[in-house]
């Protein structure tokens, strides 16, 4: 089996994620403003609590990767490493064992869905500005995950992949 690297550096992923943020901003901000106008975010008590929730969200994002891969790839928690790459200021969850491409994709998408898209959708119905902001920021924060999904878009079903230990992306095993 050939092991092929399909990853990019974390710093390159961070810069490309900024480009992804532009269409996300348009797709999320415009409907919210259309439905609810410009929200007021002036309540400092809410903003203090919001700051705490945002910090918790960073850890939650990585834990969601880990638990989704645990659930769908049937990997033990001991197969995972949580950490922070200081060079690129990036938190990460890393699976140290190969898995099928399908659970890898699910685990890559899960945090953006659960912390970003779902809160944003709920905010469209409720008009909750803080929930909108949370959903928008965590959809944007999932830009690197969306980039990884784009990089692996042509990987065939049933392909074995191994999460890259330091880059955004993975190794694929080709026969």
3-state secondary structure the chain: CEEEEEEECHHHHHHHHHHHHHHHHHHHHHHHHHHHCCCCCCCHHHHHHHHHHHHHHHHHHHHHHHHHHHHHHCCCHHHEEEEEECCCCEEEEEECCCEEHHHHHHHHHHHHHHHHHHHHHHHHHHCCHHHHHHHHHHHHHCHHHHHHHHHCCCCCCCCEEEECCCCEEEEEEEC
pLDDT of residue 71: 96
Whole domain around residue 25: which residue ranges?
A: 2-34+57-174
Q: Number of structural domains, the chain?
A: 1
What whole-number distance in Å separates Cα of residue 119 and Cα of residue 134? 7
Instruction: State yes or no: pLDDT of 123 exceeds 80.
Output: yes
Report in angstroms the alpha-carbon separations of 23 from 58, 82, 132.
22, 29, 16
Confidence of residue 95 (pLDDT cuts 50, 70, 90): very high
**Does a structural domain hold residue 25?**
yes
pLDDT in tens, 16-73: 988 988 999 899 999 999 999 887 655 545 667 777 777 888 899 999 999 999 999 9
pLDDT for res 14: 84
In a domain, 19, yes or no: yes
**118 inside domain:** yes
Does residue 44 belong to any structural domain of this protein?
Answer: no
pLDDT for the residue 53: 77
Q: Give a yes or no: residue 112 inside a domain.
A: yes
* Residue 20 belongs to some domain of the structure: yes
Q: Is residue 117 domain-resident?
A: yes
Q: What is the mean pLDDT of residues 114-130?
A: 94
* Residue 13 near residue 150 (C-beta atoms within 8 A): no
Please report, rounded to a whole number, the percentage of residues in the chain having pLDDT higher than 90: 62
Entry pTM: 0.90
Q: Which of 3-12, 49-58, 103-112, 148-157 has the lowest mean pLDDT?
A: 49-58
Q: Note whether residue 161 is domain-resident.
A: yes
Rounded mean pLDDT, 129-155: 92
């Amino acid at each position: 089996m050939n092991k092929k690297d399909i990853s990019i550096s974390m710093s390159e992923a961070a810069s490309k994620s900024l480009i992804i943020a532009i269409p996300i901003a348009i797709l999320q901000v415009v409907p919210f403003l259309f439905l609810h106008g410009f929200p007021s975010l002036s309540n400092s008590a809410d903003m203090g609590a919001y700051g705490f929730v945002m910090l918790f969200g960073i850890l939650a994002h990585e834990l969601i990767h880990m638990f989704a891969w645990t659930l769908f790839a049937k990997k033990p928690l001991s197969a995972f490493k949580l950490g922070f790459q200081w060079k690129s200021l990036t938190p990460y969850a890393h699976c140290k064992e190969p898995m099928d491409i399908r659970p890898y994709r699910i685990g890559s998408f899960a945090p953006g869905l659960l912390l970003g898209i779902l809160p944003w959708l709920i905010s469209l119905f409720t008009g909750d500005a803080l929930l909108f902001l949370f959903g928008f920021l965590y959809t944007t924060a999932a830009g690197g995950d969306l980039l990884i999904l784009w990089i692996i878009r042509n990987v065939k079903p049933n392909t074995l992949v191994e999460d890259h230990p330091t880059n955004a992306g993975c190794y694929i095993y080709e026969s």
